[in-house]
């Protein structure tokens, strides 16, 4: 579960950060909306695993030599908009 949660948090964050960089922004937004819809069916333990994954990602990003503010914001947004909704 840990690896899946870590991968999903990163994928959503990457799509979120990269979506403003190209002509696929509408498609990326649609993908994020679909992922959010799927996650509304997550069990409490699955949501907990995602919350822990997002927190691990924040800690890892902050510890990086050059933390990326856009990723830090996106990880926090993931927690607020998807998990704590």
> What pLDDT sits at residue 30?
84
The DSSP 8-state label assigned to residue 34 in this structure reads H
pLDDT tens-digit readout, 61-76: 999 999 999 999 999 9
Identify the pLDDT of residue 53.
93
Tell me the pTM: 0.83
For residues 58 and 44, give the distance between their C-alpha atoms in angstroms, rounded to a whole number.
21
Q: Rounded CA gap, 22 and 47, in Å?
A: 30
Burial (CB count <10 Å: 0-12, 13-18, 19+), residue 54? buried
pLDDT in tens, 3-54: 999 999 988 888 888 876 566 777 888 888 888 888 888 899 998 999 999 9
Give domain limits for the chain: 2-83
Could you tell me the pLDDT band of residue 85, with boundaries at 50, 70 and 90?
low
Q: At what angle do helices 69-78 and 2-18 cross, to 10 degrees?
A: 120
| DSSP single-letter state for residue 20 | G
More confidently predicted of 85 and 59: 59
């Amino acid at each position: 579960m840990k690896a899946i949660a870590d991968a999903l948090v990163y994928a959503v964050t990457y799509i979120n950060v990269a979506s403003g960089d190209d002509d696929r922004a509408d498609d990326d937004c649609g993908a994020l909306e679909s992922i959010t819809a799927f996650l509304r069916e997550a069990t409490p333990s699955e949501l907990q695993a995602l919350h822990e994954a997002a927190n691990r990602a924040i800690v890892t990003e902050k510890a990086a030599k050059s933390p990326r503010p856009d990723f830090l914001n996106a990880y926090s947004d993931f927690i607020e908009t998807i998990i704590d909704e």
